[in-house]
Structure 1
Amino acid sequence: MKRLGALCLLFALAGCGEREAHAPEAVPALAEPVDVVFGEDGRPLPEVLAESQVVHRGNGEEPQTLDPHLAEGVPSSNILRDLFEGLTTTAPDGRIVPGAARHWDISRDGLTYTFFLDPDGRWSNGEPVTADDFVWSWRRAVDPATGASYSRMLSPIVNAEAILAGESPPEALGVEALNDMTFQVELKDPTPYFLGLLTHPTSYPVHRPTVEQHGDSHVRPGNLVSNGAFMLDDWRVRSSIELVRNPHYRDADDVLVERVVFYPFEDENTEFNRFRAGDLHWTYQVPNNQFQWLRKNMPQALMVAPWFGTYFFSFNLTREPFEDNLALRQALNLAVDREILTEQVSRFGEIPTFNLVPPGLPEYESPETPWAGMTQEEREAEAKRLYREAGYSEQRPLEVELRYNTSENHRKIAVAVAAMWKQVLGVRTRLINEEFRVFLQNRAQRRVTEVFRSGWIGDYQDAFTFLELFHSEHGRNDAGYDSERYDRLLQRIAAERIPASRRNLMAEAERMILADQVILPVYNYVTKRLIDPRLKGWEENVMDHHLTRHMFLVKAKSAIEASEEADGGE
């Protein structure tokens, strides 16, 4: 308790010791929804539907682009899943289901996938979606000239790695249009997660004539042609992005929402207040310090669920002070008390971790790190020893920059980590917050970064989605980790056909990342947001994929009662 009190003094601003007195006193009266009644066709009856089917969603940071091959980050993906559709897509519960492809065949050796496109598939301009569209789009995604950050996701395809390395032309990619409606893919090795990978924006088709005509501006309103349930209507930078229902979408008759508006809120408190005012049906997240108040006063709206992701900090391994200084990286890792961070700062049930890959995968278990079994006091004693070994002391303290993207929750974590480093080791930390686009650019360039906030949400339910991040040529390897041994290990994992051997190789790869202290893991994510009870069709799923086309708004009971009174009903 003494130690906790001292830490609270150091980082009170980070949330430790923040009282619920800061929480709003007035409890918003959330409208109680009517009971949903479905007809024989599986659709909700018209009398229960709200008159206005416009959904307002908070969505974190402003997206850099709506080009599915160039976009980065969860906020962009949320919008792109409404605008575009890959060969596969996700059901409300997260299951992989047919998307632009109605069905598919997989060869016995697992190397050939043949996708049969839905003949009703249409672009938002009414043109049919064809196999040639996927051929051209996937070649574009792996073309080094495109600069797609996640292009390596398509590396299981024949010749993809040679194309990414500039050794073969994009036309050599192992994809082919057998006819207008049949798209075939050849893989170099069996890839058990391949169908899940196809829900990622990197695999989405883009409309070739539009891209060639408009270039970079093909993503602007009036230009963007997409094949998803919605199409772009308006984009007001730092204000809102509005999508309207795509009348040409293959299942347009089953899409009840007419319009969805995404709002970029970097400040969680602003978003929270907008929800309380009734301006939002959905928040991207909530302020960490309001958890107890929300659980008590708005339990019907608060949704907390496991999420397939890890929150961590990365070290820039390409420049001082962390280049060739493993002891220093280890010291900073061990000085962080994850229990205090999750219990006193994040406070939403996040799981403290020393690993990269989150738990819960049926076919994988992360290796245990040597310091996971230590007490925090033992870790801190070892941190001090390693700090001295790295060449630092109270007389010669480390001075370091810790960078994070603008967010109150991120700021609190950063302040708390800096306080721990100061108390345990005497480190002097300068905190730098940056707008999301600038933050991503600085991370990728590695010229000014030292320690920076990171995190990863799995693109598919397999440990490889985390491990491949640190391939020397991966577009999001912002730490600059460059190990021939590790790259070879990833190649062996991709080629391994025996599940048990593949699991062992992946555990070895994760053990190597942790031993080299490329990252400082903090906790496994949970999703935490507020959902208006009148918004139906939203379901928890570990991937946190929630497509607006599955949703609809229902009337409030009070509205029904008022209508009955006006009509003279009982």
Structure 2
Amino acid sequence: MTFMKLKFGTAVLLGSLLIGACPALAEAVLHRGNSGEPQTLDPSQTSLEIEAFILKDLYEGLTSYDAAGRIVPGAAESWTVSDDGTVYTFKIHDKANWSDGTPVLAEDFVFSMRRVEDPKTAAGYANILYPIKNAEKVNKGELPVDQLGIKAIDAKTLEITLERPTPFFVELLAHQTALPVNKASFEKNGADFIKPGKLVSNGAFELAEHVQNDHLTAVKNPDYWDAANVKLDKVIFYPSEDQAAAVRRFEAGELQLVYNFSADQIERLRASHGDEVRVTAALSTYFYSFDTRIEPFKDVRVRRALSMAIDRDFLSKEIYSGAQLPAYSLIPLGIATYGEPARPDFADWSQLDREDKAIELMKEAGYGEGGKPLNIEIRYNTNPNHERVAIAVADMWKKTFGANVTLLQNDISAHYAYLKEGGKFNAARAGWTADYADAENFLAINLKKNPVFNYGRYDNPEYDALVEKSYNEKDPAARSKIMHEAEAIVLRDQPIAPMMNFGQLWLVSKKVKGWQDNGSNDHLSKYLSVEE
């Protein structure tokens, strides 16, 4: 017995010495520069990519993304689909738990998805789940929430019935809107359930601290079903809206990841940091939206003229150094089920020819030289690249039409909150990154029934009817043809002016391991580690 005690004591002493001497056992912390302050941590209210980065660390949906941006099982370890493609049955991980140690149940997803579709919630992205049977009717208040096509078969088995076959449905379930919230915490804390100390999550990390406009800290969730494979102890997100400051912090080693930086810095940064500079093509479109409710922007001739006068090649080359590509289509290249996007008639003209035709259209509408004065305010969210684009476009419109153009910038939260709430404007910068790899995701933002993201309140019954028709078409080729017809209409009417296809701009320290570039721009911290 004495020998055993001495051996144990020696082991403890040696262990203590090893812990103190071994840097590998130090806390593993990832410092992530995010490009703005999240508006919310409530999955039902989210709409921004910078929120998705955080939410997908805190919560886990039925499906998720791997490091390469591919759909993989999430909280559901497996699922089956009925022969007609309308009934999905999910088996939730036996070891899936909330951060308070209680099990993640099928009923948690029933509660969460009903909450999203409940009109009282006013979820901006409720349409993401419209493929679920009765979802749209529930969301419009035409049916009670218990009529949503989702039910718990048993504690760990969930059944979801769809309105119609939806090939991309499992991708929708990886969207942040489909993330589950903890019913007990929500019912106890109400709107405060998203605050540190109250937020109960089921993802690889849990919320430890959130200091508005300074930082948000998430720590490893020991109750996560795959915690053994999570290498980080802590992730700290910094709302780095000041891109120059974020780059300086990266170069000083204070940040290991930075999302978005000024594109005019690409060449300098590549010279200094090599492959730490990552530029990846994305399923994204950068555009200006026109408010079709007010003059002169309700006139299609004015919208087309303004769009024609934008020199997209200049924006791509001179402002983004080729990190974004000129675009004339709403839907980006790269969606396999859609193929080559539609293009407006002026896409193949020279820029000089576009400008000549634009001047004619503007004169027909009664504006420009010899007509009514053309006053335009361009709204954009604070960002050096967006500011340079706005200045360049303003100059193009001044030179082409003699327009009086002013600029108005707001931080990202205020900018999008104003647009989503229906605030009136002239021209507003916006962008759309695919929530799932299907053309419908881009077409839906111009539907009359989608006012949250149809910023300019475009209203064309023919367009709406075609998009609706595509939902019921089961033949892939016929469906693609219908969607191309719809895109052609929106490009003819130009309620938005597509300008560029995004490149994702990241700075990734060589100390970060597990990073993979991907078109979906999903980079969950659970796959990353930091080496000193």
| Aligned counterparts of 1:382 and 1:410: Cα–Cα separation in 2 | 27
Partner AA of 1:500 in structure 2: A
Letter of the 2:333 counterpart: P
The 8 Å contact of residues 101 and 223 in structure 2, kept in 1 or not, is answered as yes
What is the one-letter code of the residue matched to 1:303? R
1:549 has 2:526 as partner: yes
- Describe the SS at the equivalent of 1:299: helix
Instruction: Answer yes or no: is 1:215 the counterpart of 2:199.
Output: no
User: 1:110: Cα distance to partner?
Assistant: 0.4
1:13-32, aligned counterparts within 5 Å?
Answer: none
Amino acid at match of 1:194: F
Match of 1:166 in 2: 141
Q: Following the alignment from structure 1 to structure 2, what is the Cα–Cα distance between the partners of residues 516 and 435?
A: 29
Superposed structure 1 runs of 4+ greater than 6 Å apart: none
Q: Is the 8 A contact 1:318 1:446 kept in 2?
A: no
Return the offset for 1:49: 5.3
TM-score of the pair, normalised by structure 2: 0.94
Give 2:421's match in structure 1, choosing from 421, 441, 445. 445
In structure 2, the partner of 1:351 is 325
Q: Choose which of 288, 303, 317 in structure 2 pairs with 1:329.
A: 303
Mapped partners of 2:347, 2:295: distance in 1: 28
Shift of 1:468: 1.1
Mapped pair 1:415 → 2:396: no
Pairing of 1:149-160 with structure 2 (within 5 A) = 149-160=124-135
Q: Work out the CA distance in 2 between the residues paired with 1:264 and 1:418.
A: 29
- Aligned-residue offset at 1:448: 3.2
For 2:317 and 2:353, the matched residues in 1 are separated by: 20
Q: Provide the residue aligned with 1:500 in structure 2.
A: 477
Aligned equivalent of 1:305: 280
Question: In the alignment, what sits opposite 2:11?
Answer: none
Q: Is 1:536 aligned to residue 513 of structure 2?
A: yes
Aligned residues: percent identity?
39
Query: How many Å apart are 1:332 and its aligned residue?
Result: 0.4
Q: Secondary structure at the match of 1:114?
A: strand
Name the counterpart of 1:566. none
Distance 1:230 1:393 in 2: 56
The TM-score, its normalising length taken from structure 1, stands at 0.87
State which drifts further: 287-296 or 302-311: 287-296
Given the alignment, which residue of 277, 283, 295 partners 2:258?
A: 283
**Paired residue for 2:108?**
133
Partner of 1:18: none
Deviation at 1:496, TM superposition (A): 1.0
Q: Match for residue 428 of structure 1?
A: 404
2:289–2:429: 8 Å Cα contact kept in structure 1? yes
Which residue among 313, 318, 327 is the counterpart of 2:293? 318
**Alignment check: 8 A CA contact 2:263 2:323 kept:** no
Matched, 1:485 2:462: yes
What are the residue-to-residue correspondences of 1:201-280 with 2, within 5 Å? 201-280=176-255
Taking the aligned partners of 1:439 and 1:544, their CA distance within structure 2 comes to 22
Match of 1:78 in 2: 53
Q: What's 2:494 paired with? A: 517
Contact kept? 1:49, 1:552, Cα under 8 Å: no
- C-alpha distance in 1 between matches for 2:312 and 2:368: 23
Deviation at 1:48, TM superposition (A): 9.8
- Please state how far the C-alpha of 1:491 moved relative to its aligned partner: 1.9
Report the secondary structure of 1:456's partner residue: strand
Quote the Cα distance in structure 2 between the aligned partners of 1:375 and 1:292.
29
Which of 419-428 and 97-106 deviates more? 419-428
Give the 3-state SS of the residue equivalent to 2:445 in structure 1: helix
1:487 is displaced (CA, Å) by 2.4
Q: How far apart, CA to CA, are the structure 1 residues paired with 2:423 and 2:62? A: 38
Is the CA contact 1:442–1:449 (under 8 Å) kept in the aligned structure 2? no
Stretches of structure 2 that go unaligned for 5 or more consecutive residues are 1-21
Deviation at 1:292, TM superposition (A): 1.3
> Could you say which residue in structure 2 is the equivalent of 1:195?
170
Partner of 1:385: 360
Task: Show CA shifts across 1:219-247 (max 9, x none).
Answer: 11111111100010000100001100001
Q: 1:58-77 alignment to 2 at 5 Å? A: 58-77=33-52
Deviations 1:14-66 (A, max 9, x none): xxxxxxxxxxxxxxxxxxxxxxxxxxxxxxxxx99583410000111111110
Contact 2:343 2:491 in 1 (8 A): no
The corresponding residue for 1:562 is none
Once residues 550 and 56 of structure 1 are traced to their aligned partners in structure 2, the CA distance between those partners, rounded to angstroms, is: 14
State the alpha-carbon separation in 1 of the partners of residues 423 and 38 from structure 2.
23
